[in-house]
Structures are given as C-alpha cells and as structure tokens.
Amino acid sequence: MTQHESIASDLKKRPTTLSELIASGWRSRSVKEEMRENFLRSLESSEELYPGIIGYQDTVLPELNIALLAGHDLLFLGEKGQAKSRLMRTLVRFLDEYVPYLDIPEVPVHEDPLCPITQQAKDFLRTHSQDQTPIAWWHRQDRYVERLAPGTKFADIIGEIDPSKLTGGVSMSSESALHFGLIPRMHRGIFAMNELPELDELVQVGLFNILEERDVQIRGYPVRFDLDIFILFSANPSTYNRSGKVIPQLKDRIGSLIQTHYPKERQQGIEILMQEAGTDLGGKYPVQIPYFMMEIIEEITSQARASKYVDQASGVSARFSLANFRTMIASARHRAVILKEPLAVPRISDLGHLVTSSLGKLELDLMGSHQMSERKVLDALIASAIKVVFEKYVQEYGLAQISEIFSKGVRIEVGDLLPSEAYAERLKHVPPVWDTAFEVNASEHPAIRASCVEFVLSGLYAMDKISRASKHGKVQYET
C-alpha cells in the first residue's frame, strides 16, 4: 500500500458527520493547547524534538521549549542563514496529524465543529441536525502558512471588502461581504511572517489588533471573530531594533523572543554543511573530500563573519558555505572529467573558483573595506582561512615533519587543471605523518596526494615559510 493509499484508508475510518465525531469522544482544543500537549508527549518520550537543527541544543532550543509551554506567540530574532524559517516550519510536527472541521460550502475558515466562529457556520448548525452536518479532516502540513513581509498588503493577510458580494446585494456591514486574508483563513493553524520590520505600518496595526483581541477589523467594520491562531515572526536584529521599524504596541504583544546565532564551533558548521549540501559524491566520477578542505570552506565563512571588511549587521548566511562547498566539488569533478581521472579530490586551487559562488553574498562595510573590491576581500578571507586551518595541523603534528620535504629547494607548480600525476612525480615519497595528519592516506591515490601537497604549500606560504608566484593561471611555490 502506498503512502497516499494508507492516508486515504485512514481518513475513511474517521468520523464523517458531527454526530459520529461527538460519539468518538473527540474534544475541542485551541491550537496552542494542542501543540503544548503534543510537545509534552514528545518531551516525555525523549524524541528528537527538532530534527535537522544543529548547534542550538544548549542555547536556542531550551528557550523555544519554554515558550511553547508558555503558549506564547514567538519572534525568532537573528541574522540571515540562522535556521529561523526552518525552526518555524519544524513546529508543525507538534500539531495533531489531522483535525476535524465543518465541511460547509461558502464558510471561509476551517471551523472547529464544536466551537464555530462565523455566522454562516452557526446558522448551518442551527438549521441542520448533527447527522446532516458533514465533517472533513485537515492535515497538519496544510495548517501552516508563511509570508514574506516586503510587498505584503493589508488585504493579503487581514482581508478586504469584496466588491462582487456588494453588487450581489450583500450589506457592507455584513460579515459575508468580506474577503478574508491569510490570517483569518489560518484559524486553528500557524501563521508565520518573515522579516517583520519590512511590513507596512498599517499591516502591523492590523496584526497588533489580532494579537491583542484575536479579532479582525476591515475598513472600520469590526468582525468579532474569536480567532484561534499561533503567530510566528522572524526578523534581523539590525532592522528589528531600529527605531520606528516595528510599532511598540506590536513588539509588546509578542510573547517570547527567541535569539538565534551562527555555529559556535567550526565542527557544527561542517555538520550543517554536510546535512544541507545534498550533493551526490558518487557516480562515474566519485568525489572524496579531505576533511581539511571542508574545514577551510567553513572557516572562510567564519572569517567573513568576523571581518572588518564585511558588514556584520547583514550577516553571512550558511548558504555562503553551501554555495562555496558545491562550487569546490564541481571544480574537482570538472578536473576529473577533463583529465580522465577516476577520483575527484578537491584542492586548494579549486578555491579559485569560489568567486562565482561568493560574489553578491557578501555585503561590504563601506567604512571598513576602504573601497576594496569584493573579490579582494574574498581572496583575503580564503588566505586567512587556510592559515587558521593549517596552523591547527601544524600545532597537532609538527611543522618540521609536514614541511620537511619542501625545505630542500623544491619548486612545485600547482593548478586546478594540473594532472594529479604531476604532483606524484615531484613528491614520490610522502612523510609518514601525512597519512595520520590529514585523515586521508596521501600515499593511497595521486589525487589525494595532490590535494595534500597543495594544502601544505598554501599553508607554508600563509606562514611566510615559502614564496609564491602566479603566472598564466598557475601558481608556483618555492623555498
């Protein structure tokens, strides 16, 4: 049985009329009560509460847990690429898999069968028996909707008077004359607004009223709905904290502020990178990535987040690491295909192509960068990252053994399209320490050896132990 067939079969077993629903013992709960009870059940059973969220176990998630138990509407405050949207979407798992609603035509919301809020639903229940009242079921994935603030109008999320209904003779002051926006239509669900400070002030006022009174006012006509909705917001600190961007009354009514952050450790950043990359490393030209190359990719991002040349108010997203990681793999595979090498192994020279995946993702600090180009800033970040990562290996395994082979006047040319065998010819014997230092066996394969050689050369250059010269797209290192 397919998943679709299983769901269809499960739905057939559920009550289809109000009388059957009442007989089943189903009880009405608010969306926050529903989430709290399901969250507590998951917490008690030691389930993984937030699958795919890395690095927040001791910081963000405890605060989020408490906010859920408190029944608060939430604001996730953090810079771009800090999993704010992912966290919001993850909360859907604490909803019931299905909830029943009144399956009545023309009713604009998914009505609680026992506590309807619209006049149409109330009138229907008054004129029909429980056996005549149809029930349908709403899946939790459909009970979440997300909106980006820029360009969002009042009518989009709150509602508007529908001119077509007025021409049909409906009174302007009647509830049935209104076209409801996303928030009223998400009654009994979750509504998420990304980039709250970019929301028009008029719409913020409408949200303030919903958060305060849980009702809707459109064009001066109050519609006293007892809306049952869980509201989530996300924002960047630089704009959220700027005076006038978010009206104080709205800020005051958001229950909990959850502060996110970038990975505290490089290892966490690499875990996120490998989880999100989604890149197939197998196939006809398989890719093997030395761990030091993953460290460098993540360290480039860390350097950017600390650089005086980069505008720190805008942040440096995890997507920066992801794009660079995929570019590095693509460059290695490109070389393997052209040179007919059976194994693609990323090298330092592949980082020369990161300009294509990095430009546009870094916002420069016009004061700190002294009008440096984005490319020059990127080159400086890559150089700093190589130095930081190489110094770790030097500290753990010793500079003398790692650099010994290059201390005798050896001159080596490197490049992203230089065959791996060319490195093997210049380096026939690999120091034993290399095989343990780099977590790959440098003697095992020419492509792995080439990657290790380039790493050592670039690291020695970063530490001013050897010199480097570029010519015709190739780089030459010498003592």
Instruction: For 91-128, write each residue's pLDDT tens digit.
Output: 999 999 999 999 998 888 999 999 998 888 999 999 99
pLDDT at 172: 52
Query: Across all residues in the chain, what is the average pLDDT?
Result: 86
How many CB atoms within 10 Å of residue 430? 19
What pLDDT score was predicted for residue 70?
A: 96
Q: How far, in Å, CA of 103 to CA of 92, rounded? A: 23
Residue 464 confidence (pLDDT): 83
Distance CA 176, CA 385 (A): 62
450/467 Cα distance (integer angstroms): 19
d(CA 64, CA 232): 12
- In this structure, what token pair is assigned to residue 304? 């950017």
| Residue 442 pLDDT class (50, 70, 90 cuts) | confident
C-alpha 39/C-alpha 42 separation (Å) is 5
At 324-357, the pLDDT tens digits run 999 999 999 999 999 999 999 999 999 999 999 9
Element (H, E) at 145: strand 144-148
Query: Which residue intervals of the chain bear CATH 3.40.50.300?
Result: 3-259
| pLDDT for res 165 | 60
- Backbone phi, psi, residue 143, to 5°: -95, 15
pLDDT tens per residue across span 58-80? 999 999 999 999 999 999 999 98
- 207 falls in which pLDDT band (50, 70, 90)? confident
Q: What is the pLDDT of residue 453?
A: 85
Domain 3-259 has CATH 3.40.50.300: yes
Q: Give the CA distances from residue 105 to residues 120, 135, 152, 173, 466, in Å, rounded to whole numbers and listed in that order.
A: 9, 12, 28, 21, 78
Is 158 exposed, middle or buried, given 0-12, 13-18 or 19+ CB atoms closer than 10 A?
A: buried
Judged against a pLDDT cut of 90, whether residue 299 lies above it is answered with yes
Helix (H, G, I), strand (E, B) or coil at 88: helix
Each residue of 394-426: b (16+ CB within 10 Å) or e? beebebeebbebbeeeeebebbbebbbebbbee
Query: What sign results for the dihedral spanned by CA atoms 33, 34, 38, 41?
Result: positive
Sign of CA dihedral 224, 226, 232, 237: positive
Please give the DSSP secondary-structure letter assigned to residue 307. Answer: -
Query: Which tops the pLDDT comparison, 368 or 360?
Result: 360
For residue 132, give Cα distances in angstroms to 54, 122, 221. 50, 14, 33
Instruction: Name the one residue in this structure whose structure tokens are 């300009």.
Output: 355
Picking from 186, 96, 85, 104, the residue whose alpha carbon sits closest to that of residue 143 is 186
Q: Rounded mean pLDDT of 278-295?
A: 92
pLDDT at 5: 44
pLDDT at 368: 56
Per-residue pLDDT at 361 = 85
Question: How much is the pLDDT for 246?
Answer: 92
Residues 6 or more apart whose Cβ sits within 8 Å of residue 254: 72, 73, 74, 75, 211, 233
- The Cα 160–Cα 238 span in angstroms is 32
- Rounded Cα distance, 205 and 197, in Å: 13
**300 close to 381: Cβ distance less than 8 angstroms:** yes
How much is the pLDDT for 223?
Answer: 63
